[in-house]
Structures are given as C-alpha cells and as structure tokens.
A and B are shown apart, each in its own frame.
Chain A
C-alpha cells in the first residue's frame, strides 16, 4: 500500500466532495414540488451573487427557504454522526460502537426533552429558547457517555465488551425514561416528539442554531482530527499505544468530549438517527483503509452524502407526506450492515 500523503488525502476528499455536491444538487431538485434545473441554477447563482431580490418564483422560496436549509442541516448531522461513530469505534476498538448503540443518542434525547420541558415552563426570548435544546442534548450526551464509560471500566481499564453492554443497557433504560416523560407530560411542545425521536430533519431550525451547528462541528472535528495519528496507534491496544508514547488519557478525554458535542448537536436538531454512525465508518474503512487521517474526513463527507440521500428518499417516497429520515436509514442501513458483516466474515 502506498504511503498516505497529504496530496492523496486532499484528492480523495475532493472526489468525495464532488459526489456530495452532485448529491446535493439532485436533492435540491427532487421534492414534492417539481423544480426545473434552469430555475434552480438561476436562483442558486443569484443567491451566490447576493441578488436575493431577484428571486421571484416559487423556486426561490421552496428551494432556498425549505430545501436548502434542510439539506445543509442533513449534511452537518450526517457528518457529525459519522465522525462520532468513527471516533468511538477507534477509541473502543470495537466495530459496533456508535452513538446510537452506546446510548449517547438516547441520553441526548432525554436531555433535549428535559430542556423542552424547562423551556416551556420558563419564558425565554425565542433566540435563547432555541439554544436551550442543543445545550440540554449536549449535557445529556456528556453525562451518558460518562456513565457508560464508568460502567465499562474494569480494574482501571476499559473493557470494550462490558462497555458495549453498558451502552446497550443504558440505551434501553433511557428509552424507558423517554417513554415516561412523553406519557406523563402533556405540553404543547412535546407534540410530535415521538416523530422527532425517530430521527427527523423536516422541522426547519432557526438560523442561529444552524450557525451553532456548523461552528460546533468544525471545532469538534478539528479536536478529534488532532488525535488522528494517536487513534491509529490506539488500534493496536491501549497499553501498546501508551508504550509508543501516546497520551491515552488526553486522547480519551478529547475524543469523548468532542464526540459528545457532535452527538448532542446532531440529536438536538434531528432526533436519534441510527446506522449513520455505525455504517458510514465501515464503508469508508473498506474503501480507504483504517488510517484515521484519511478516515475521519472521509467519514464526515460520507456521512453527509448518506444522510442527504436518505433524506431525499424520505422526502420523495411517500410524497407529499414526509417520512422520518431515521426510518429510511434503518431500513437501508440494517441490511447493508448485515451484508458488510457477512462479507467480512467470508
């Protein structure tokens, strides 16, 4: 295998980015309302050049105000989940680790719901209120990962089998908490929460939240990327990595915190979307190998592609009624995962 150079990383990422761009253009075109390619190009260009006034047609409103924000939201959510999944899989040296399996998504969901309850009982200005949910989700994710981490420790060392079991138990416990919260509280804001829990991108988010999401992703991704070489060495085992000079404790803290931020942000805007964090890293590893300097950006782009495709399907299969995107990812993700698993065993 040829050594991984920066040039090759950039080239491969460029290919993935080109695919992503193509997928986004198709996604912009597809939808309940037909939009012509000409109108799409014209409006995209006028937005690029800042002539937002020039958009007079429906396309402008539908594409720019509904489809594009939803696609951008999907991009960041998909990238976040895939990167979080990749980091957990490396850190725990377990191919089944992902935010969903470890219960972190459920923890973030509990945090979100509690934040919604608090938000409805106190009166905040809309801008502040919009930020409470992601904060609750982040706290939920961080507390859950701390609890799961504690459950997974045995004699000072992380035992990945115990950790996964701890995650699964925590997830089912938290699901029960969610059921309890949803059935015992009847606030107006909780309507449709069950829908949201399935993983849903159809709810437009305030602009401030989109910015927060973007900035949060960049920071968390950057933090994880600084540990990419260490994660490569960690694949050999925690002790071995320590002998090779890796500050395992620091890597662990950085990756856990950053991955919690990614999961919390993703869940707070889109609910718990499964399989992206599990499947995308696998596919990317099959294609690009398991060097994290390549794998992390590839997973980010791959997760974005995956979610945009899944959400486009969710928007169009049962049009005009929307499906939750989580239903699509599970429907497509589970069989593909089984196929990959069998192929690896064979």
Chain B
C-alpha cells in the first residue's frame, strides 16, 4: 500500500521504471518514413453518399476498406496503387498480401495514416459512418460507393474507375459485364423463375431482403427469393419458410454449412426436414462472391443460372434442331421435353 512507504522513494522508483520501460520499447521502434512533400493535382467528385470529395488525379495510394472494393480494384487492374486493405479481403489471393488495416467496422486509423493513403474507399454496407467522419477530420479523402442492385454495381464500378483515373478500363469492364447479363437475359427469357431461399446462415436462419443486390442477382439468375423483407439481412422464421416451401435452397460456399455432410445433417433437423427442397436435395451452392457487390457477381449469376435452369442453356441445341425440324413441330416438342426432363434430373443431382 502506498501510504505505508516513503512517497519520495516510491516516486523515484516509478520514474526509474518508467525510464527503463520507455528506453526498452524505444529500441524496437521503427522509423516511419515522412510524408512525401508534393502537391498532387486534385478534382472534385460526388460520391454515392452525395458528398463532394476532393480526389487526387490520379490516386496512387489507395486503401480499400471492403473486400468488394478490393476486388473491384483488381478487376480494374489498379492493384499496384492499392497500398492497404482489410483482414477480410481474400480475393484475389494476391489481395491477402497487401498491408492490413484491420476490419471494416473497426479499421485501425493509425495503420491507415501510416500508409499515407491519398484516397480511402468505403462502402455503406461494410463500413461505419464514424470511420468516414474520423477520416474527414484527419484530412484523408474517402470515396463512398453504395450499390443496391446488380446494375448499380456495374454503374458504380464504372464511376469508381473514372474516379481512380482508369475510365477506359472501367468502360470496357462495364460493357463486357452488361453484355454477359444481356446474353443471360435472352436465354432465361421464357423460363419461369424458380422460387428460392437464399441461406446466409442456417442458425439463426438468415436470408437476404428484397432490396439487396443479392436478391437482384437472384432475379437475374432466374430465381425469386421467397423472402419479402425490407431489411438487408432478415432473420427468418422457419415456420414461415416451411409454409412458403421454396423450390431451391441457395448457399454461399464457405459462409454457411454448405458441405455435403452438412446437407445430410440439415435433412435431419427438425423443421428443415419438412422442406420439400431439403427432402429432394434441391441445393445450389454458389461462390461467396454472391454477397460481395463487385464485378465477380456476374460470374456468380451465370453459375447460379446454369445450376437452376440447365435446360435453358441446352435449349440452344434444341433451338437449332428447331430450325432443322421446322416442318415437324411435334417431334421438336418431344425432343425439347426430353431435354427439359434430363435437365430437371440433373438439377436435382446438383450436390
């Protein structure tokens, strides 16, 4: 106890210890390189939160605070300008080697400052307003993206490319993504959408709301989510799901219990076994990219469409036969029906 001893001596000891500790820690200190003293050209842009942001032209030291933004930067081939990203940025694998600034909700501001970014990219769905305010007060410009549909993801990618000084790359990327979606759209035109449940988690059962880009991606893949919630990540009532009986269950790859043995376990769970989709093993497993608003979403949509509607992609063959056999409509019809049946069986075998 302090009052039992000589305070003078006590203070001396404390100061000595303090000095020793500080000296010891000092030895490990690395010098941080001073900021480069240059004044880059800047211009004003409006970000997707409606804020005016002064961005450098071109941005050469970018920090991404969301996996989707990191992916977009790689898709635009701007990765050499990416100086930092989050712990969750795992695609492409090269992104894992970038210096990490922590998570999206709680990035480490010190690490961000130490990386001398000239632009920090943020997104509403992954970051906090507080982080943006903090960056503002530190004088670090931040650009926000906030897409809610697949089309908005493409538009937002193109805009971001322009902001980052890669307008050409953005245009061609957006163009090719739009083309792929167009092709898909024509193929799925006559196919009735499958009623699906997108399973983010099984316990608790979490799905996606109708206003999310994930629900929009499902629609583009010829699927309609049975979930009618205005929340982004609604927790679902299993009773309601059993009542609605989705035709298909869709799982993101690593985000949920999507392994084969997990499906066996699922079929035994109370409630779940009442689902026809579980009973008939109508599962579709898609890449985790489905929950990232980045260009890769188009590949996921294509993949999902193939899993849900294989017939639509075989119809091309049938369609060509159609031309040949124009004079024998009956025969064509039979063939198409056979193709569809085959596809159906195949779809049931998916996983």
Interface residues on A, range: 35 or more
User: What residues of chain B lie closer than 8 Å to A30, measured between beta carbons?
Assistant: 25
In the complex, B235 has a CB within 8 A of chain A: yes
Interface segment among B124-132, B183-191, B253-261, B333-341: the answer is: B124-132
100-148 of chain B: CB within 8 A of chain A: 100-103, 105-106, 108-111, 113-114, 116, 124, 127-130, 133-134, 137-138
A33-B14 in contact (CB<8A): no
Partner among A191, A200, A204 whose Cβ is within 8 Å of the Cβ of B129: A191
Partner among B109, B113, B130, B230 whose Cβ is within 8 Å of the Cβ of A192: B130
Q: How far is the CB of A124 from chain B (nearest CB, A)?
A: 14
In the complex, A219 has a CB within 8 A of chain B: no
User: What residues of chain A lie closer than 8 Å to B15, measured between beta carbons?
Assistant: 22
A192-B105 in contact (CB<8A): yes
Q: How far is the CB of B9 from chain A (nearest CB, A)?
A: 12
Partner among B34, B113, B124, B230 whose Cβ is within 8 Å of the Cβ of A188: B124
A321-B25 in contact (CB<8A): no
Q: How far is the CB of B127 from chain A (nearest CB, A)?
A: 8
In the complex, A18 has a CB within 8 A of chain B: yes
B110-A31 in contact (CB<8A): yes
| A186 and chain B: residue at smallest CB distance | B231
Q: How far is the CB of A316 from chain B (nearest CB, A)?
A: 11
User: What residues of chain B lie closer than 8 Å to A34, measured between beta carbons?
Assistant: 28-30, 32
212-239 of chain A: CB within 8 A of chain B: none
User: What residues of chain A lie closer than 8 Å to B23, measured between beta carbons?
Assistant: 37
Q: How far is the CB of B11 from chain A (nearest CB, A)?
A: 6
A56 to B18, CA, bound (A): 27
B111-A33 in contact (CB<8A): yes
Partner among A18, A189, A200, A287 whose Cβ is within 8 Å of the Cβ of B3: A287
Apart from A26-B25, A34-B30, A320-B102, list 5 A-B contacts with CB within 8 A.
Answer: A29-B22, A33-B113, A33-B114, A38-B26, A287-B2
User: What residues of chain B lie closer than 8 Å to A35, measured between beta carbons?
Assistant: 29, 32
Task: Specify which of B111, B127, B130 lies most central, judged by the most chain A CB atoms within 10 Å of its CB.
Answer: B130
In the complex, A288 has a CB within 8 A of chain B: yes
Partner among A36, A202, A322 whose Cβ is within 8 Å of the Cβ of B26: A36
Q: How far is the CB of A319 from chain B (nearest CB, A)?
A: 7
Q: How far is the CB of B50 from chain A (nearest CB, A)?
A: 12
A65-B35 in contact (CB<8A): no
Q: How far is the CB of B345 from chain A (nearest CB, A)?
A: 41
A202 to B131, CA, bound (A): 9
User: What residues of chain B lie closer than 8 Å to A19, measured between beta carbons?
Assistant: 14
In the complex, B10 has a CB within 8 A of chain A: yes
125-177 of chain B: CB within 8 A of chain A: 127-130, 133-134, 137-138
34-51 of chain A: CB within 8 A of chain B: 34-38
